[in-house]
Structures are given as C-alpha cells and as structure tokens.
Amino acid sequence: MNPLELTLGIMTAVGGFVDISELVFAAKAGSTFGYALIWVFAISTIGIIVFSEMSGRVAATAKQPVFNLMRHRLGLKLGLVTLAASVIANLITCAAELGGVALVLNYLTGAPYMLMAVATALAFVLSIWVLPFQWIERTYGLLGLFMIVFAAALIAIHPPWHQIAGGFVPHVPAGLSTKELLKFGYFVVAIVSAVMFPYEVYFYSSGGIEEDWGPKQLLTNRMTAILGMGLGSLLAISILSNSAQLFGPANVDPSLPGTAALEAAIPFGKWGLILALLGMFFAIAGAAVETCLANAYSIAQFFGWIWGRHKKPWEAPRFTITWIVLFALALLIVLTGVDVMVLVEFAILFSILVLPLTYLPLLLLAEDKKYMREYVNGPVSKTLGWFYFGVITLAAVAALPLYFLTSGGNG
Amino acid sequence: MTPDSPIKLVSELLDLPLYDNEGKYCGIVDDVELSGGPGKPLKLKALLVGPGAYAGRMPEWAMKLVKLMAGDRITRVPMEKVRTIGTAVHLECPGRALGLYKSETAAGHWIPEGGAL
C-alpha cells in the first residue's frame, strides 16, 4: 500500500468533512446542546465511510464513476432530475465555501470581504488549471491538517472526558421543551446532511478514476475511507466539544465561522488563532475545490463528455469550461452580498433532499454482480448501506418541515 | 455479448459508456435506432450518441434545459461498427471516423493550451 494514496482520503475527510457547514453546525451544536449531538456525528461518519468505501470500490471495479452509473440505473429522466438537484445543491455549497474562505481571509488580513472572494475564486481557478489532480489533492489536503489544532485545544482545556464519552451514546437530552426538541431534530438532520454531503461521494469516486484505481487499490480505498473520514470526524467532534466547554456556559452563539477559531485562541493565544484560521482556510478551500470539481464531474459524466483533471485542461475542454463557469457562478452568488450563513443553511437543506437519489443507485450498483463480480457488497456493506439509506430518507422527509418549524434552527 | 446477441435494450444498452478501438471515451448511448415493422423482426440498426437523442426520452421542457447545458448534437453509430456490448460498448474503429468528437473539438478552440503541469 502506497502511503501517498492515503492523501485522497485525508483530503476528502479534512476538506470535505470539516467544511464551512461542518464548522458552523459543530460549533452551534456544542454551544446549544452540549455534548448531546456527538453521537449524530459518529453515526453519520460511519454512514459516509460506508458509502465512500462503496463508491471507491465501484470506481475501482466497474471503472465507472457514480454519475455515469446513476443515469444507467435511474434512467434519463430521473437521472436528469438528480443532476439538476445536485448541481444546485453543490453550487450553493461551493458558494458557501467560497464565501467562507473569503471571510477567513478577511479575518486574517483585514482586506475587504468581496475583494477576497474575487481573489479566492481566481486563485482556485488558477490552482486547478496549473496543478494535476494528485497535487490539488495533496496541497489542500495536507495543509488542511492545521485543523488538528482544534483537537490539541480540546486536550489543553481539560474537558470532562466522561461527558464527551457519554455523547457517543445515542440519546435525546431530557427536559427539552417541544420547541427545543424540534430544534434538536433540525440539528440532527443538518449534521447528517453536512457529514454526508453528496459531493463527497461524487468527488471520492471520480478521484478514484482520476488516480486509475483498480482491484489492487481496494484495501487502500477501505483504509482511506475509514482513516480519512475518522480523522475528519474527530476534528468535527473536537470543535463541538470545545464549543460545549467554552461557548455554551458563556451563552456565546458561534454562528460565524470566525467564532470557532477562538476555540484554539483560548488555550494557545495568538498562534492558536492563526493556526486555526489557517486550518479553516485550507479545509474550506479544499471543500470549495471539491464541490466545484464534483459538480463538473457530475455534469460531464451525465452528458458523456471527456472529463478529469488527470488530463490537461485543453484535453477535456467541455469539462474545463464547466468548472470555470461553476466557479464564476459561485462567485456571482457571493457577490450578490447574500450572507454566508444563509448559503450554509440552503446548502444543508438542498443536499439532504438530494441524498437519497445519490445513494440509491450506488447501493443498487454495488450489489450488481455483473459490474462488481467478486467485489459485490457483502452482508455487512449491504446491511449498513440499506440502514443508512433509511436514515437519509427519513432525514430528507423531515428536513423541510423542521427547517420551517425552527426557522432554520434559529427559532 | 456481441451485437447479434439478444439484448434487453432499456436495462442493458441505453446509457452505457462508449469506447473506441483506441480505448478513448466517446460518450454515452443516448438512444437507439431500430429497423423492422409489423410482421418483421425488430433489429438494432444504430446507436445514437449526443444530447439531441434525448428528445424521444424526455419531455419538451427538459429538452430545453438539456439544450441550454449541452446542446442538441446527435451522432449516429451504425451497429456494424460495434464490437462488443457489456458494462460498456466497445467500437471497432476510432471514434473520430464516426464524427464522435466534434463538440469536444469545437469546445477545445476556447481553451488555451499551456500553463498546466
């Protein structure tokens, strides 16, 4: 097993797992409900591990990415509906990530937010143009590891570990009013959505094809899914736990991404703050690049265009034009002046509605012996896969009512 | 499976990826052209590739969206040019000989060549 191959999982975990939505909801979950939502992160993490491993296995075995197969399995009409829904969800997510990076740069440099958004979008386009896929993955993935400062901060503040451990046991806090229960439900749905964002699977499986995975990479695929996502989840849980310990008792509502950076500033001072902001910058930037590429992958795969960043930009021209246009559209959304937090809310909402359509064809395909041969889903993957399909379907059904009943978790 | 074998059109052929004899990706089987009629055997005559071929498979409003995103070109691939059909369709000639890369080539004029590692 080549240790470098593990970086794909690390980037997916850090860049995809700890993105702007994850940051905001982990910090808000901790300050609002203490450690009571840790189990949702843990359970959702197992879900994304299951589906990422499955999508990587399908890519390595069938040599086809999720969106090619989705169209074959769902048919053209339902496939087009899924494409349209996921493009909207991913575009909003990309705009939220772009806005998030611009905010972090604004905190770091004091330069105007809008100017930073334009500079960030240009830098992303340049980096995807210049760097081949593996370099993009390694640059953002490895620099995103600055986020470990949040785990170090948690250790430094000596939290009540027994309460954190208790948070891993599924439960609903006692004594909540109906209004609070609805809000708790909304947070559960939002965390499931943020952890299992559909773009992660599109990016992961397409990345497997970019790197020319075959059956020999199946062990690497499994290890990267488990280790990468596991690391991402621990960082998110650290942010939640820091928030529960530091912000909850002080009645601080960490609804801006910058507030989460203070978690590292409290134990480590100025350098903690800088490391946290750098970690957030690269993690959110990685997620922005992933969402944009995932969207371009989906469109190109659906319409049968040549795609991939393992090719030079001019060797896959329609794919190249697509990701450049998508970044331009995401920038336009940010430049309208819409609040980043509003974008995060919409990204969460749209993504959860798309999730069942994303994962159903993947599940059906991973059980199809014609494509998967001896690598077809075993009893564990099959059981977990259908269990999580049930979970995301329930979350999708509950998402809209909970959103309106709680005013997006703020009511 | 060869082009002469019985095939369940919808589940096994439509929406499959297409590769030419150089292993180059050529697109997706978007529709099929059949020959025959009442009392005559139904035979697969050609594969249709390109978003213009969606017209028979989706409502008009959806076609407008598709046209906006991907155009409406159709390329016809005669069945004689198909070598095998499995989890993908493989051709026995280069895709460019059938006019399969025209849109990609046209888009290429907009992309400068240089600056990428």
Compare CB distances from B110 to A130, A306, A317 and report the shortest one's residue. Answer: A317
Nearest to A317 among B49, B69, B104 (CB): B104
**B2 has pLDDT over 70:** no
For residue A303, which residues of chain B lie inside 8 Å, CB to CB? Answer: 28, 51, 69-70
Q: Does the distance separating the beta carbons of A72 and B112 come in below 8 Å?
A: no
Which pLDDT belongs to residue B5? 59
| Residue contact B115–A130, C-beta within 8 A | yes
Task: Evaluate if residue A85 carries a pLDDT over 90.
Answer: no
What pairing do the DSSP bridges indicate for beta strands B25-35 and B89-91?
A: unpaired
* Reported pTM: 0.91
What is the ipTM score, two decimals? 0.88
Q: How far is CA A227 from CA A59, A283, A324, in A?
A: 19, 17, 32
Enumerate the domain spans of chain B: 9-104
pLDDT score at B72: 87
pLDDT value at position A156?
A: 96
pLDDT of residue A313: 92
B108 to A314: CB separation less than 8 angstroms, yes or no: yes
Give the C-alpha separation, A198 to A355, whole Å: 6
Q: Which chain B residues are Cβ-neighbours of A314 within 8 angstroms?
A: 108, 111-113, 116
What pLDDT is recorded for position A14?
A: 58
Nearest neighbour of A304 by CB, restricted to B28, B57, B62? B28
- Token pair of A187, please? 């947070």
Within 10 A of A14 (CB to CB), how many other CB atoms are there? 29
For A253-257, what is the mean pLDDT?
82
Residue of A nearest to B58 (CA): A77
Residues of B at the A interface (Cβ-Cβ below 8 Å)?
14-18, 25-28, 30, 49, 51, 54, 57-59, 62, 65-66, 69-70, 87-88, 103-104, 107-108, 110-113, 115-117
Put simply, whether A58 touches B (Cβ < 8 Å) is no
Q: Residue A210: pLDDT band by 50, 70, 90 thresholds? A: confident
- In this predicted structure, what is the pLDDT of residue A284? 92
Nearest to B58 among A80, A130, A318 (CB): A80
Dump pLDDT digits (tens) for B37-84: 788 888 888 999 999 988 888 888 888 888 888 888 899 999 999 999
Into which CATH architecture does domain B9-104 fall? Roll (2.30)
pLDDT surpassing 80 at residue A250: yes
pLDDT digits (tens, 9 = 90+) for A192-203: 999 998 888 888
Ranges of each domain in chain A: 3-405
CB contact under 8 A, A303 and B51: yes
Distance CA A391, CA A196 (A): 11
CATH entry 3.40.50.10860 includes domain A3-405: no
Predicted pLDDT of residue A8: 60
